[in-house]
Structure 1
Amino acid sequence: MSDPLSPASYAPYPSVEEYILDWTDRIWADGAIGDIAGMYAADLPVRTASGVGVGVEGVIRGSLAKKAAFLHRIGVGEDVVWESRGPSSFVSHHRVLHTGAQHGPWAYGPTTGRAAVSRNLPVCLVEDAMVTEEWVVRDEWAVVEGLGHDPSAVAIAAPVDLSPLGAGGIFGRPAPADPVLEGDSGPRPATHREEATFVASLWSDVVRERRFDRVPDFYSRDCIVHTSRNRTVTRLDGVRGDLMELLAPFPDAEVNVRDIAVHRSPDRGLRASVMWQLRGTYSGLPVYGTPRGERVEVLGVSQYELEGGRVRREYRIFDEIAVLAQIEAQRARQGVTPS
């Protein structure tokens, strides 16, 4: 597939993939923290499951602290699913596999000598070779647990209060009316409309409508799903159960697709990536302690390898530590003893 973008949109690199992968290595492998200001717009918003930060200075400070705490942590770029957003802009859904130990002091607790395996998935809107908005999704439960820390203690120590964000929540705006046509990163191109409709329907028909009987319409018989807490489930029954477990703690949850990117490449084939939002009350299964109706917002990304008109493999990433920290913030306000 020919590149529809102006080369200036990913300069000075030869491709979008090299732009994303090389910048990531410069910052996290080589430690070029000072170069971040040359990649991120000065006033960009960075949206995570723990809140919204504004400005490149916060990105620099946070990156420096994390690099110092995880000095020898290695991040491998597993895939870059990107799509144009006009002649000089693109959106990148970049999946990264992290391995390594905690080197120094960090919010999760003292160094334990253990290593963790987890996935991150930053979604970046890039305009004229500068990141102008970013949504960052991490499987922090896998990090906390892998390093030997207690997830509940971590959430209690750093509660997350999203109420100052108001009705717009993490995204700061209503959900897109039709993400096949336009998502949070902007209008989609006319290419891959069928595949975008397919993954949007997966979320609307199976997840939003709770039609788990329709899983075989979207997943292949031998499907594999890598999901939160570094877990893997397989085949159709595994997918059904995992999607039910996603929703069961929040039975009234509203689920919206926020952004879609689809890309085909000669070496990796056809892939799609969906950024999604779940908002509901913790009133179902007691996954995070005793449910008391606490409001929760989940920011997640699912990437799909498509084969024969079905999902052959999915990577579903979201931050359950942030979910637990949101719940703990409301318990603290209500004077509830931590679980």
Structure 2
Amino acid sequence: MPHVGAPEPTLDPSAHRPFASVEEYILRCTDEIWVDRGVGLIDTAYYDPEVRIHGAFGTSVGLAPVLAGTTQSIASYPDEVGFGEDVVWEPRGSQSFISSHRVYSTGTNTGWTSYGPPSGRHFEKRALAHCLVKDGKIIEEWVVRDEHRLVTDLGHDPHEVARRFAERGDWQPLELGDLPEDPIRTGVSGVRDSETAPAEGQRIVEMFDQMWNARRLDRISDFYDRDVVLHTSRGRTLQGLRQVSTETLDMLAAFPDAQQRILDVCIDDHPQRGQRAAVVWLLEGTYSGYDVFGPATGLPIQLLGASQLVLEHGRIVREFRVYDELALAIQIEQGRLRSTTAGS
């Protein structure tokens, strides 16, 4: 991928107008909205009026939820600094692209939040925003945040927060439409330009399927480097094959029948950063295993997640795995409340 400021050779300039490159578009529009506080640019410059946003609490359509959520977040954390760690992208036709923007945010909670009054406490969290952009407008977005890390940094009890939010019925199922059968060729972001699916993409899909669906964690060394570093939920950093394997097993122990579906894959080669990949995934199963999120309910769950992978010589040397454990706990508690109400 070219440096910021260099034109993209495979895209019409209208795809990332008014900027010279995809990376510049993603980084600059984020700064203009969040740092410069140009919230109205969501409406006038960067988002389609019928934009679809898929997140931890369901799917929203239109600008009103985006404008409201951005305004409230800036008011909650007015000194927040979001560092754009990386932008992984691919074209989707001559006038569209898919990008995965990894952001690490720090700040202080000096305003009200949905969790309560100002705590005055420092926070850190990571997010991944997978955006489909056409003719300079974001038309669809899949976004995940490590909200569990945020609420604990602010001094809140995640179990109490989950209970309160569940009572309000805040979680709704995602509206994803038909899930892709072959996400390498056609994912939720559309059809890949190349007629031949990249070998790296095929290996990534195979890796997710083998580890999560086939439960072949004995094959982890086929895909990950021995000294791999995994940055995952709750701000944790793990290292080595055994820790990465155990992290996956811990989730499967809570949801023993879970299956993971890949929604989208994009692969980006950069002259300095090397080869990186971005994956959007959906984990579905029943909460019938260990009581990680309170007493098991036997009810279905749906977890949207995203990963950015750094590859060297075909192996993953670093993974940034983001999903919202708080929203998962809210979903489980909400299902428990509804089940109890229906049975009474």
Question: TM-score scaled by structure 2?
Answer: 0.93
Runs (4+) of structure 1 exceeding 6 A deviation are none
Displacement of 1:226? 0.3
SS at match of 1:213: helix
Q: Residue 247 of structure 1 contacts residue 253 of structure 1 at CA under 8 Å; is this kept in 2?
A: yes
> In 2, distance between residues paired with 1:290 and 1:114?
31
Q: Distance in 2 between matches of 1:171 and 1:95?
A: 23
Find the counterpart in structure 1 of residue 187 from structure 2. Answer: 183
Supply the AA of the counterpart residue of 1:248. A
**Paired residue secondary structure (1:196):** helix
Counterpart in the other structure of 2:198 = 193
- Aligned equivalent of 1:308, options 302, 310, 313: 313
User: 1:102, 1:115 within 8 Å by CA — same for their partners in 2?
Assistant: yes
The separation in 2 between residues aligned to 1:207 and 1:178, in whole angstroms, is: 17
Please point out which of 294, 298, 305 is paired with 1:293. 298
8 Å CA contact 2:131–2:142 kept in 1: the answer is yes
Query: Given residue 158 of structure 1, which amino acid in structure 2 is its aligned partner?
Result: F
* 1:23 equivalent in structure 2: 29
Query: Aligned residues, how many?
Result: 332
Q: Which residue of 1 is the match for residue 5 of structure 2?
A: none
Per-residue deviation, 1:86: 0.2
1:240-289 deviations in Å (ceiling 9; x for gaps): 10111122211111210000010011121100011000011111121111
Deviation (angstroms), 1:48: 0.6
Q: Which residue of 2 aligns with 1:58?
A: 65
Structure 1 segment 224-263 matched on structure 2, within 5 A: 224-263=229-268
Contact 2:171/2:327, CA 8 A, preserved across alignment:
no
| 1:61 alignment partner AA | A
Structure 2: gaps of 5 or more residues: 2-7
Instruction: Tell me if structure 2 keeps the 8 A contact 1:49–1:297.
Output: no
CA distance in structure 2 between the aligned counterparts of 1:113 and 1:57, rounded to whole angstroms: 28
Check 1:171–1:189 CA distance in 2 against 1; reply closer, same or farther (3 A cut). Answer: farther
Please tell me whether the aligned partners of residues 161 and 330 of structure 1 are also in contact (alpha carbons under 8 angstroms): no
CA apart distance, 1:61: 1.3
Indicate if the aligned counterparts of 1:180 and 1:196 stay in contact, CA closer than 8 A.
yes
Report matched runs for 1:203-242 at 5 Å.
203-242=208-247
- Answer whether contact 1:79 1:95 (CA < 8 A) is retained: yes
Aligned with 2:40 (options 31, 34, 37): 34
Once the two structures are superposed, residues 197-236 of structure 1 have per-residue CA deviations (whole angstroms, 9 ceiling, x without a partner) of 1111111111111110010000001100000001111111
For residues 56 and 164 of structure 2, the distance between their equivalents in structure 1, rounded to whole angstroms, comes to 16
For structure 1, which runs of at least 5 residues remain unmatched after alignment?
none
CA distance in 1, matches of 2:12, 2:68: 32
Q: What letter matches 1:189 in structure 2?
A: D
Question: d(CA) in 2 for partners of 1:153 and 1:60?
Answer: 28
Q: Match for 1:92 among 99, 105, 108?
A: 99
Cα-Cα RMSD = 1.6
Native 8 Å contact 2:15 2:95 kept in 1: yes
Query: Residues 72-111 of structure 1 correspond to what in structure 2 (within 5 A)?
Result: 72-111=79-118
Task: Give the TM-score, by structure 1 length.
Answer: 0.94
Task: Supply the AA of the counterpart residue of 2:229.
Answer: I
Identity among equivalent positions (%) equals 42
Q: Whole-Å Cα distance in 1 between the matches of residues 170 and 78 of structure 2?
A: 30
Does structure 2 conserve the Cα–Cα contact (< 8 Å) formed by 1:180 and 1:260? yes
